[in-house]
Structure 1
Amino acid sequence: MSSSPYTVYLPAGPPGVSWSLPQGVRDTVALPCVVLADRAGFSEFAVLQRALRVVGVPSVRIDAGSAGASRVSGRVPGDVIDVDGRVIVPTVVWVRHFTPEAIPVGGESWCAWIGQLPAVHLPGGAPGRLAQLAGAVRRGVRVPSTIVTTDPPGAARELGCGRVVVKALGEHFAEVSPGVLEAAFPRIAAPGDLMPADRPVIVQEYVEHEEELRVYHLGGELRAFLVGKSAPEAIWRDEASVTVRPAHVPPDVATAARVLAADWGLRYAAFDFLLTRAGPVFLEANADGDWRWFEARAGCESVSLAAASMLRDLHDRSSALDLTGFLALRTFRGGE
């Protein structure tokens, strides 16, 4: 956890929803459609929606901050829903940062509605950090020596390390009010610099490593970046110092990411590994992990394109249409 506070203010989104649909489709045609639910302050789904347009997959993006301005309805049982007067059949629903805290009014109900739409849902619920570490160990994947405690100094002595990493048990960011995020960054510390905590925290050995590898798992496909940074929070506090470059995924890391994603039912997740001379060390998997910042630094859109490909395949299977059939349907409906 960082020794000084860090707050992020997310911009408000425009009212309503963002559509990407074939031309000529009437509002009353029940069109198979991908549903993206997120926050206006994150750019991942904006780029993804453009990529879906290129591959011919209809999509609708719902922003948490302006969800209350939308009109939705759907008969139960049934697969068809009405969003702002347009009728769709959800095929895939991907939710990122769409939480009750993000929605000014009726947040629990909006999240319950999104979560219960009849469709394939992404990314799936990743287990907490402790369950992740335990699951990795069961699969023979190395993890840092870890203690959960309210006594970080005692834990550091027990670990016998010159340096340790202290982490929160929960999310790195907490939304204290709609659009306002407060960070709880991991921090590296010497044992003598630690103080007792008023809540349980994670204390881990600091693992000497050559590089850090962020691996994105997208329906079995993997995309990765080598990341160089001076501290865990450098991406936020010292962005200019961080280096990012595309990377191949080592075979042992690829196996670990795919096995753990399968164990946890995750079609999508961002995995963090340390690359050491003795092999990879797993840190954590984030089912809501952002990717656009890494792509921008590396000068590519490899994750966005893989995400669009994954959604296209899920959409085609869910709607019982292959891409050729879908394009034919576009032509037919465009002539109606």
Structure 2
Amino acid sequence: MLRPEVLILSNRHDYASDYICSQLWEQGIPYLRLNTDDMPEMELCLYPTEPRLEGVVSGLEFCIDSALRSVYFRCPVFLREMPGIALPAHDQMVRSQWASFVRNLTVFQEALWVNHPGKTYLSENKALQLLEARKAGLTVPRSIVTNSTKKVTTEFAGESRVMLKSLDTLLVRQGDVEAFAYAVPWNLSELAKETMSAAPATVQPYFEPKVDWRVTVVGKKLFAVKILKDEKGVSGDWRLEKDRVRFVPSNLPAPVSSACLRLTKQLGLIFGAIDLVEVGGEFVFLEINPTGEWAWLVEQAGLPIDREIAKILRQGEL
């Protein structure tokens, strides 16, 4: 029977977890990966007060108990999927109860969580991120969260353009197509003719020219890259140009690096993917993602993020 020292909570399509599994396998660390989309086919039994989790996965019997050092948590804290049609009552029940089951694995309080679901939930709030980033010593953009077009035009009077951002990851379904919303630049004169009353959004200045940075914090280490297209910064949201940009490993100024590490610690996170923009030599905080993607940086920028995460999971401490 397997007694894993590391538990990975993920889904079958998570590329980042594949990297971590590979690292743990190479180092001979007993681990178990439980994919949430496969759980209905598993046999699982949780004993909350011990705590202990027993189960069978693909014929493999396991027992998770006091030997568990760490948990790599790569699951959404709440469901964001937008099904095209209403799910049958049975399917709704299955999805909600398994999602709760995963959250209830926090009974393993002695294990190191990367990141803990509770801290992940709080840290995904964009307004809280901005407040904590300012406390950590980072420069933050002038920001309002509103559903009032009038407030936007008043607060940003004098600006020609602003950036509109969703408050949470925005997934919508149109027919058979699932759409993902990026940050959208708006001319202020055009926005004045529209209405934002249906839902709130975050509004910030439009930075141009600028250079985007992705900063990945893992424990006490930091990995930073500049994002360049044709050796220049990318206008608007760089994710729309992801196949045409380069990720260049670079060093941040020491005060900015220290502030990024401080922010992650303030939020109670061990891992954080931070987006910054460099404008006129100044680094401005945009957001931090406690479950952000990083696997492509291993391939395209040669950053050993997988090894650093695996090391922390192996040690069970920072």
TM norm. shorter chain > 0.5: yes
Q: What residue is the counterpart of 1:211 in the other structure?
A: 211
Letter in 2 for 1:183: F
Q: What residue is the counterpart of 1:58 in the other structure?
A: 30
State the SS of the aligned residue for 2:50.
Answer: coil
Q: How does 1:44-55 map to 2 (within 5 A)?
A: 44-55=16-27
- 1:105: how far off? 5.7
Whether the 8 Å CA contact 1:127–1:264 is kept in 2: the answer is no
Asked if 1:95 is matched to 2:97, the reply is no
Distance, in Å, in 1 between the alignment partners of 2:124 and 2:44 is: 31
Distance 1:289 1:181, change over 3 A: farther
Whether the 8 Å CA contact 1:217–1:269 is kept in 2: the answer is yes
Asked if 1:271 is matched to 2:263, the reply is no
- 1:33: how far off? 2.2
Q: How does 1:1-336 map to 2 (within 5 A)?
A: 27=1, 31-84=3-56, 85-89=61-65, 90-98=68-76, 99-100=78-79, 106-117=94-105, 118=108, 119-123=111-115, 124-125=119-120, 126-152=123-149, 154-159=151-156, 160-171=158-169, 173-174=170-171, 182-194=179-191, 195-197=194-196, 198-228=198-228, 230-235=234-239, 237-298=240-301, 300-314=302-316
Which structure 2 residue ranges, 5 or more long, are not aligned? 82-90
Partner deviation per Cα, 1:210-250 (whole Å, 9 max, x = no partner): 42111111112111211136355443x44332221222232
TM-score by structure 2 length? Answer: 0.80
Partner deviation per Cα, 1:164-203 (whole Å, 9 max, x = no partner): 11001112x43869xx853121111211232221111111
Letter in 2 for 1:151: S
Distance 1:37 1:225, change over 3 A: same
Give the stretch that moved more between structures: 280-289 or 220-229. Answer: 220-229
Whether the 8 Å CA contact 2:223–2:303 is kept in 1: the answer is no
Whether the 8 Å CA contact 1:168–1:201 is kept in 2: the answer is yes
Distance 1:255 1:68, change over 3 A: same
Distance, in Å, in 2 between the alignment partners of 1:38 and 1:104 is: 20
Distance, in Å, in 2 between the alignment partners of 1:253 and 1:52 is: 32
Distance, in Å, in 1 between the alignment partners of 2:79 and 2:202 is: 26
Whether the 8 Å CA contact 1:295–1:301 is kept in 2: the answer is yes
- 1:63: how far off? 1.7
Distance 1:32 1:42, change over 3 A: closer
RMSD over equivalenced CA pairs, Å: 2.7
State the SS of the aligned residue for 1:161.
Answer: coil
Distance, in Å, in 2 between the alignment partners of 1:306 and 1:249 is: 19
Runs of 4+ in 1 over 3 A off after TM superposition: 97-105, 173-177, 229-234
State the SS of the aligned residue for 2:71.
Answer: strand
Distance, in Å, in 2 between the alignment partners of 1:39 and 1:233 is: 27
* Matched pairs, number: 284
Whether the 8 Å CA contact 2:172–2:180 is kept in 1: the answer is no
Whether the 8 Å CA contact 2:224–2:250 is kept in 1: the answer is yes
Distance 1:161 1:97, change over 3 A: farther
Whether the 8 Å CA contact 1:174–1:181 is kept in 2: the answer is yes
Letter in 1 for 2:45: S
Distance, in Å, in 1 between the alignment partners of 2:284 and 2:308 is: 25
- Of all paired residues, the percent bearing the same amino acid is 22
- 1:55: how far off? 2.3
State the SS of the aligned residue for 1:35.
Answer: strand
Letter in 2 for 1:218: V
- 1:146: how far off? 0.9
- 1:93: how far off? 1.8
State the SS of the aligned residue for 2:141.
Answer: coil
- 1:91: how far off? 2.5
Whether the 8 Å CA contact 1:144–1:207 is kept in 2: the answer is no
TM-score by structure 1 length? Answer: 0.76
Distance, in Å, in 2 between the alignment partners of 1:285 and 1:110 is: 27
Distance 1:190 1:271, change over 3 A: same
Distance, in Å, in 2 between the alignment partners of 1:66 and 1:286 is: 25
